[in-house]
Structure 1
Amino acid sequence: MKTILATGGSGQVGTELARLSWPQGWEVVVLTRADLDLTDPSAITAKVGERPWAAVINAAAYTAVDKAESDQLAAWAVNALAPAAFAAACKGAGIPIVQVSTDYVFAGDRDGAWQTDDPVAPLGVYGASKLGGELAVRTSGARHAIVRTAWVVSAHGNNFVKTMLRVGAQRDTLAVVADQHGSPTSAADLAAALATIAMRLADDTDAPTGTYHFSNAGPTTWHGFAQEIFAQGASRGGPSPSVEPIPTSAYPTPARRPANSLLDTATLTRDFGIRPRPWQAALSDILDKIMTGPRA
């Protein structure tokens, strides 16, 4: 049995990694922050050296984007120093690491989908700290895949889909930002992609390495996403409020958001054969779980 060590067990992606149906001969151990202190590099080193893991998937992150602006040390500890410790330990153990990163490493200031080698210019602490994690992994000497993603949603935890359904049941009209562009990402689809990459790296020392992007296919805005949530949700008995478009300037936040979070996934398809499905189809699966299945 080949065992992959994964982090982020309390988050959306880590939860989906634990729920994933892994191929015969593979298993995953998904840790929460209660299991491993991500601010303790020595604990991370000890955990990686605890047994002969096949690979590490670091899906844990400090994701409170606005809070990070005033909580810089915590954000950098989890998003940069923890990946550095994992990557160094993986290098020492001779195993690969898959590091999850974010669209927030980009400024979001141009049209078109971001390529993996486009210049990075984070707008705030969260993006800068995640970029720090990327650099730590990239320069560690460990075989690695850095996977940037954006707009992650699922049937569990806190995310845009669940927020819209909750607020939409309370109000007849909602105002949603319409000038931020991106592609929603199913945490389940992302977890499956991470697993595919990790298993390939573990099995093949000549497997491609580097930086990749994953999001579900097709562009939209937060406003367009909200409209689709309510359109699909209504057919399942959910709320159907009116959704009014507003500019980002009408909804100020401590941290600036990228205006363009579209990610080009072509290199992921080329190197690993992973072809993300349309985000609308992924949303349908999420709504099925939220509205017709057990809630989490």
Structure 2
Amino acid sequence: MAGTETTPAPGTAEGDLAGLEAGLDALDAVQERRTPFGQVLLHKVLPPVTAVLLVLAVWKLLVVAGVTADYKLPDPSAVWHSLRGLWLDGTLLGIVWTSVSRGLLGFLAALAIGTPLGLLVARSAFVRAAIGPILSGLQSLPSVAWVPAAVIWLGITDSAMYAVILLGAVPSIANGLVSGIDQVPPLYLRAGRTMGATGARGAWHVLLPAALPGYIAGLKQGWAFSWRSLMAAELIASSPDLGLGLGQYLENARTDSDMPGVLLGILLILFVGIAIDLIVFSPLERRVLRSRGLAAAR
């Protein structure tokens, strides 16, 4: 009929072009909207709370059933009383902050070392061949193995703690960045060189932004290594001169055969590790992935 527009048939050049334009229009039309509070509670808050309550219920049932002696598996209320005692004494926040401040400072130092090291390994074939396998080997080496050497080298001091953190976290951060850079399409690098982004400018404006997903994964793993390394160092190289951190609190509770204190120390260490991930790394990862259209549903 005259004056009627015809739709291009799929499979033809006109049809493919029309489909491409429709897809691009759909992408442009996508707008981020704030998730309703009720949905956040349902999908983000309720599952972990339910899991915690389930663990507490199973724990209480095991205690009531008497599957083992009380000194091996105390009642959850005994752990709560230990936590309440630390809070009333005014020592709880000090214990947590002693370890958290060390962990964060050590992680920032590892970040400052691991990032340029990862760039160097990723962009230099000679450096990668020379130290790439060493970094991979160090990443698989348990951090606790460095504690005796660090104590002999540096004594039972904060320096030994930071040395263990660096040796555990730097390889993870560097390898994460190398993995991210290896996945950057060569087209990005050529486009950057065309616009004059070479050398340090190319690394800052092209490589790092394009490698962010892999880099952030390396940062998350680096923090995990930092925290585990620090706890191992505080457990083994405990000293009154270092202040009372979570690792030393856990060791003191073990020495006193205080099982509620031991479980409280474990739970506090777990809580800090989860809290740092939820507060710092998970939002950062979601933001980066969403900016690339990779995690719209997360």
TM-score, normalised to structure 1, is 0.24
Query: In proportion to residue count, which structure has more strand?
Result: 1
TM-score, normalised to structure 2, is 0.23
Question: Higher Cα Rg: structure 1 or 2?
Answer: 2
Query: In proportion to residue count, which structure has more helix?
Result: 2
